[in-house]
C-alpha cells in the first residue's frame, strides 16, 4: 500500500513498518523497599523486584502494553545482559541487542525507604566495531520506521552519539523522537527531529530559567522550534503537560488525578503514549497529546508501567 505523506502543515498519516528504540546503556533495576536505610548496618528489605531498565526499553515496554510492537536496540553484555534480554522479551518486545565482549550490563540498585537512594552501575565497554554494528542496524531503517532515541550516553561512547545518528539518518524520511537533556538535545535540533520531550526542569536548564507553570513553558518550547524541533512535548509531573505542534497549535492539560506511586519511567511512558495515540488517530495531535498525558500518569500511579485499561480509565476523566 502507498505511504500516505503529509504536507508541511499536518502530521504524517502513514503506515508504520516498525518502531525502534535505542538505549545505549540499559540496566537491570534492582528495586528494594524498606522502612529505613541505616548506613553501616545490615538492612533487611520487605520488597524486592528486578526489572529491565533504560529509557528506550521503558518506551518499548509501554508501547507493548498499549498494543504496539517495537524493537529495542542497544548494547548488552555478560550474564546480566542475558537476564535483561529475557526480561524485555517477556514483556513482548522484539530485541536486536548487540552483545559486547567486555564487561557486563549494569545493575542499578534503587532503594526506596524514608528517602530514595540510587546506586547506578557502569555498564560494558563498547568497541568501535560494536558501535559500527549499531550504525549498520540503523542504516536498515526506512521512511516507514519510527526511531526513538532517549537517555544518557555512557562515557565509553562519543559524546556526540545523538548527532552522529541524526546526521546519518538525515533526509531519509524517518520520524525521529529525541528525549534527552541539554547539549544532547540542543545539538540535534539542526536535524529537525519529529518530536522532542524535555520536562520543564530540563527546558528551564537549557535557557537558565525556572519554569513552574504551563503558560511559562510555551515561549521556550517555541524557541526550541526556532532552533529546528518540529513538535515539542513538555512533561511537568504534577502540573500536567504542554504540547506545541509544528502547525503552531498549543495544547495544555493538567495532570489527571491519582496517587503517585512511582515516578520512574513516567516521562518514557508519555512518549510511548503519544506515539500510540498519534498512530491510532492517523496523526491527530489532540488524541496523541491526551494519550501521552494519560499514559505518563497511569505509570506514575502504578508500581508497574501503564496498561491499556489504566490509560483508557484516565482518558475518560479528561
Which phi-psi region, left, alpha or beta, contains residue 54 (left: φ > 0; alpha: ψ -120 to 50)?
left
Residue 13's pLDDT is what? 43
Per-residue model confidence as pLDDT tens digits over 13-48: 445 689 999 999 999 999 999 999 999 999 999 999
CB 286 within 8 A of CB 75: no
Instruction: Report pLDDT digits (tens) over 230-268.
Output: 999 999 988 899 999 999 999 999 989 998 887 888 999
Taking only the tens place, the pLDDT of each residue in 188-197 is 999 999 999 9
pLDDT of res. 16: 66
Provide the whole-model pTM.
Answer: 0.89
Residue 64 phi, psi (nearest 5): -60, -40
- Mean pLDDT for the chain overall: 91
**CATH hierarchy code of domain 19-24+54-102+126-315:** 3.40.1190.20
The rounded distance, in Å, linking the Cα atoms of 286 and 241 is: 13
Gap between the Cα atoms of 50 and 274, Å rounded: 27
Angle at the Cα of 288 from the Cα atoms of 286 and 290, rounded to 5 degrees: 65
The residues annotated as belonging to the active site are 268
Domain ranges for the chain, please list them. 19-24+54-102+126-315
Amino acid at each position: 500500500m502507498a505511504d500516505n505523506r503529509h504536507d508541511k502543515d499536518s502530521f504524517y498519516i502513514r503506515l508504520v513498518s516498525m518502531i525502534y528504540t535505542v538505549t545505549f546503556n540499559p540496566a537491570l533495576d534492582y528495586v528494594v523497599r524498606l522502612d529505613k536505610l541505616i548506613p553501616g548496618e545490615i538492612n533487611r528489605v520487605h520488597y524486592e523486584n528486578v526489572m529491565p531498565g533504560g529509557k528506550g526499553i521503558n518506551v518499548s515496554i509501554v508501547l507493548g502494553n498499549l498494543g504496539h510492537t517495537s524493537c529495542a536496540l542497544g548494547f548488552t553484555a555478560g550474564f546480566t545482559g542475558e537476564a535483561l534480554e529475557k526480561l524485555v522479551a517477556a514483556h513482548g518486545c522484539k530485541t536486536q541487542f548487540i552483545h559486547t565482549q567486555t564487561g557486563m550490563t549494569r545493575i542499578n540498585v534503587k532503594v526506596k525507604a524514608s528517602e530514595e537512594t540510587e546506586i547506578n552501575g557502569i555498564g560494558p565497554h563498547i568497541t568501535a566495531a560494536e558501535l559500527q554494528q549499531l550504525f549498520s542496524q540503523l542504516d536498515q531503517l526506512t521512511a516507514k520506521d519510527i526511531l526513538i532515541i532517549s537517555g544518557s550516553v555512557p562515557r565509553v561512547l562519543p559524546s556526540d552519539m545523538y548527532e552522529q545518528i541524526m546526521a546519518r539518518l538525515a533526509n531519509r524520511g524517518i520520524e525521529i523522537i529525541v528525549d534527552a537533556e541539554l547539549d544532547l538535545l540542543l545539538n540535534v535540533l539542526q536535524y529537525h527531529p519529529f518530536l522532542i520531550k524535555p520536562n520543564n526542569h530540563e527546558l528551564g536548564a537549557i535557557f537558565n530559567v525556572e519554569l513552574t507553570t504551563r503558560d511559562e513553558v510555551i515561549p521556550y518550547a517555541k524557541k526550541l522550534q526556532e532552533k529546528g524541533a518540529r513538535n515539542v512535548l513538555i512533561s511537568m509531573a504534577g502540573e500536567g503537560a504542554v504540547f506545541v505542534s509544528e502547525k503552531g497549535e498549543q495544547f495544555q492539560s493538567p495532570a489527571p488525578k491519582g496517587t503517585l506511586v512511582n515516578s520512574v519511567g513516567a516521562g518514557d511512558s508519555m512518549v510511548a503514549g503519544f506515539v500510540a495515540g498519534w498512530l491510532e488517530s492517523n496523526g491527530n495531535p489532540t488524541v496523541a497529546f491526551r494519550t501521552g498525558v494519560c499514559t505518563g500518569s497511569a505509570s506514575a500511579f502504578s508500581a508497574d508501567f501503564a496498561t491499556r485499561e489504566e490509560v483508557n480509565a484516565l482518558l475518560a476523566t479528561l
